[in-house]
Amino acid sequence: MKKILFPLAACIFSFQATASMNMDINAGYSGAYVTVTENGAALSNVEITASDKQGHSGITDDQGFVFVPVHLTDTRLITFTATNTEGESVSKEVFISDNDFSTTTNRNRAGH
């Protein structure tokens, strides 16, 4: 019984740790402005990657902010993934238009 409970407790703890990391994305001309926080506090040194063909990425500054360039020729659903120094990650998918770069958040997923 103890062999079953320990892995189960580890999975629950892992889920709670990633659930508190939050990523906000605002599309702009030629990319997206990304802010990462955890429990309301800015997270620095978080790697943000985009699922565009070039695989653009960036690292958040002390305010938890980074601009990630995205180059498109048409409207696409782009997945942005934030990975902290402990390897925890959260992803958001955002529609980015090549015309006005308007966004609509479609899904928010946590993982590691």
DSSP conformational letter for 45: S
Residue 101 is encoded by which pair of tokens?
């770069």
pLDDT digits 0-9 by tens, 41-85: 999 999 999 987 778 899 999 999 999 988 776 667 889 999 999
pLDDT band (50, 70, 90) for residue 90 = very high
pLDDT of residue 73: 67
Give me the number of domains the chain comprises.
1
Give the domain extent around 24: 2-111
Q: Do the strands 89-96 and 105-111 form a parallel or antiparallel pair, or are they unpaired?
A: antiparallel
Asked whether the beta carbons of 76 and 50 are under 8 A apart, the reply is: no
Question: For the whole model, what pTM was predicted?
Answer: 0.68
CATH code of 8's domain: 2.60.40
pLDDT band (50, 70, 90) for residue 105 = very low
Q: Which position has the higher pLDDT, 99 or 84?
A: 84
pLDDT digits 0-9 by tens, 17-50: 445 899 999 987 778 899 999 999 999 999 999 9
